Amino acid sequence: MIDTDVVIIGAGAAGLMCAATAGYRGKSVTVLDMGKKPGRKILISGGGRCNFTNENATPENYLCQNPHFIKSALSRYSAQDFIDLVERHGVDFHHKTLGQLFCDNSAQDIVDVLMTECDWAGVKIALRNEVLSVQKNDTGFLVTTNEQQYQCQSLVVASGGLTMPKLGATPIGYKIAEQFDINVLPTLAALVPFTLHPHDKERFEGLSGISIPTEVTSEDNTQFKENILFTHRGLSGPAILQISSFWRAGQSISINLLPDTPIEKLIDHWREHHPKKSLKNLLSTVLPKSFIEAMVSQQEITDKVINQLSNAEIAQLSEYLHHWKINPNGTEGYRTAEVTLGGVDTNELSSKTFESKKIAHLYFIGEVIDVTGWLGGYNFQACWSQGVACGQTV
């Protein structure tokens, strides 16, 4: 049996950040992970370049039953604090759209930063150690893995959510919470592509790979102005991933295909300058041609010479293009989702330390808890902020 001050379950973003922070305070820290290498999700994130934070991260960018919960951690360790850290390590990065920061070279740079920090802080990382059970005893917790037993005073559960089972996602964090009578909110795959009903799938079959800048609205009136992407399974792209976190089974989404220009205005212009041209050809100048052709051939849009359109037809076209309704069949689920919505109820945790209110010295951080960021670096920022807050106390 190995004795250590702190055991952290999960060598992901939250666990490694917490480990380094606690290690610098002189704590002996062991991080357990069932994987062969640390930070596996970091490595595949952001298309291999890791969107490691978002300069504009605020509590409003997170979904949580308690919207105030993330405030304290985010304000104590901000996006700028993490940017300072990667700069100290000489990582080259660039700004993309909407405040998103990506590595220039590879996501490995971020894992290297965290592993170097853990090394400097004297943290031990025990890989290929799957946590099988946790028991509370007089001196803290006894953690049993397939390899070893660890006795610790403090236990941090940073075991992630259910997304990407291929990368070692397990429900161990939820099980530990339930074992100690800590409430776990229902979980759902989020930041995930939609699948379509067979009828729609057939309609959009030929459009796979086409991307359109849009504004997508959910039934609860949340809006994202980003691209949608037709795939061979359904709909994806940043706007769809974003809205998936707000969509529930059976609901529809509304897509504004021309978010920057009312179609009425375009028609006025076309009538004046191209009165003899067809609606189909003119629409193909502002939307992808194959999309318009598909909509015309499916009689969703009626093609006519532009100056022959009646007011009623223009109103109908406007409704169609600005409020295009789609009823997703479902989502692709945890297999391709980026995050898990729900999880350990934050009302059970201190927002300052992430310690359980019921069980002293038991902590939950990262994706396992009910804090889910938007797409765009917000989820990693939550992990850094929570890891630091917890590591300062544990």
45 binds ligand FDA (CB under 6 A): yes
Residue-by-residue DSSP string for 41-56 = HHHHGGGGT-EEEETT
188 binds ligand FDA (CB under 6 A): no
Among 14, 31, 241, 267, binds ligand FDA (CB under 6 A): 14
Q: Which is nearer to ligand FDA, 189 or 253 (CB)?
A: 189
Among 334, 367, 371, 374, binds ligand FDA (CB under 6 A): 367
CA contacts within 13 A on the Cβ side of 65: 16
Among 196, 377, 388, 390, binds ligand FDA (CB under 6 A): 377
Local structure of residue 99 (DSSP, 8 states): T
Contact track, ligand FDA, 119-148, x by CB under 6 A: -----------xx-----------------
**Beta bridge partners of residue 93, listed in sequence order:** 103
Among 51, 154, 214, 346, binds ligand FDA (CB under 6 A): 51
Cβ atoms 353, 393 nearer than 8 A: yes
Could you give the CA distance from residue 77 to residue 388 in angstroms, rounded to a whole number?
7
* Shortest distance in whole angstroms from residue 341 CB to ligand FDA: 11
Could you give the CA distance from residue 379 to residue 323 in angstroms, rounded to a whole number?
30
The pair phi, psi for residue 254, each rounded to 5°, is -115, 130
Which ranges of the chain does DSSP label H, i.e. alpha helix? Answer: 13-24, 40-44, 71-76, 79-88, 108-120, 172-179, 198-203, 238-244, 263-273, 279-283, 289-297, 311-322, 378-391
Among 8, 20, 46, 210, binds ligand FDA (CB under 6 A): 46
370 binds ligand FDA (CB under 6 A): no
Between the CA atoms of 146, 151, 153 and 154, what dihedral angle is there, to the nearest 10 degrees? -10
CA contacts within 13 A on the Cβ side of 55: 11
Among 140, 160, 238, 343, binds ligand FDA (CB under 6 A): 160
Q: Which is nearer to ligand FDA, 133 or 251 (CB)?
A: 133
Could you give the CA distance from residue 269 to residue 261 in angstroms, rounded to a whole number?
12
* Shortest distance in whole angstroms from residue 263 CB to ligand FDA: 35
380 binds ligand FDA (CB under 6 A): yes
Could you give the CA distance from residue 210 to residue 363 in angstroms, rounded to a whole number?
44
Which of 157, 85, 147, 116 shows the shortest CA–CA distance to 23? Answer: 116
55 binds ligand FDA (CB under 6 A): no
237: region left, alpha or beta (phi > 0 left; psi from -120 to 50 alpha): left
Q: Which is nearer to ligand FDA, 10 or 140 (CB)?
A: 10
Contact track, ligand FDA, 284-323, x by CB under 6 A: ----------------------------------------
Q: Which is nearer to ligand FDA, 15 or 237 (CB)?
A: 15
226 binds ligand FDA (CB under 6 A): no
User: By CB under 6 A, which span of 29-37, 147-155, 223-231, 241-249 interacts with ligand FDA?
Assistant: 29-37
Q: How far is CA 131 from the centre of its chain?
A: 25
* Shortest distance in whole angstroms from residue 138 CB to ligand FDA: 24
* Shortest distance in whole angstroms from residue 105 CB to ligand FDA: 15
User: By CB under 6 A, which span of 119-127, 159-167, 244-252, 259-267 interacts with ligand FDA?
Assistant: 159-167
Binding site for ligand FDA (CB under 6 A): 9-15, 32-35, 40-41, 44-46, 50-51, 130-131, 158-160, 163-164, 168, 170, 172, 338-339, 366-367, 377-380, 383
